[in-house]
Amino acid sequence: MIISDLQMPNMNGFEFLSVVRQRFPAIPVIVISGEFSGISVPESVLADAFFSKGSYKPADLFEKISELLAELPERSIVSKPKRAAVWAKNDKDLLAVTCSACLRTFPVAQAGMGLNEADCEFCASRVVFEIVSEQAVA
């Protein structure tokens, strides 16, 4: 199991998650971040669980760890989602979206409530993502 922040030296945390998911799909991943909020992060896209730094109880984290370890034997393939994960940077008006095709994360300039589309910066796939919270509108 990997428990990781999104901030790390020499590499973007989203890139790290993408590499882990594509190369080692069976490894459960929990992300803890104070910088980004996972607004609508479909489970298992890049991470199996997301915790906002400073706003969860250790008991919740331990429960999630037990849950993921119990599911472990059945996790061999991670299916690609129809909707992309959306991340909001907490201190800036910045949204980032995880491509459903290549699992890499890129910033989006504009988004409104409901369904949005953007072209992936890396593989040019059309990515569909949904904004479910007013606070996230860029």
Per CB under 5 A, residues contacting Zn ion are 99, 101-102, 120, 122-123, 125
How far apart are the C-alpha atoms of 132 and 115, rounded to whole Å? 9
Report, in Å, the least distance between residue 47 CB and Zn ion. 17
Q: Are 117 and 83 in contact (CB under 8 A)?
A: no
Scan for tokens 């190369």, then name that residue.
23
Report, in Å, the least distance between residue 117 CB and Zn ion. 13
45-71 in b/e form (b: 16+ CB < 10 A) is bbbbbbbeeeeeeeeeeeebbeebeee
- Residue placing its CB nearer to Zn ion in the complex, 49 or 120: 120
- Residue placing its CB nearer to Zn ion in the complex, 56 or 122: 122
- Residue placing its CB nearer to Zn ion in the complex, 22 or 90: 22
Report, in Å, the least distance between residue 17 CB and Zn ion. 14
Report, in Å, the least distance between residue 62 CB and Zn ion. 34
- Residue placing its CB nearer to Zn ion in the complex, 31 or 84: 84
SS3 107: strand
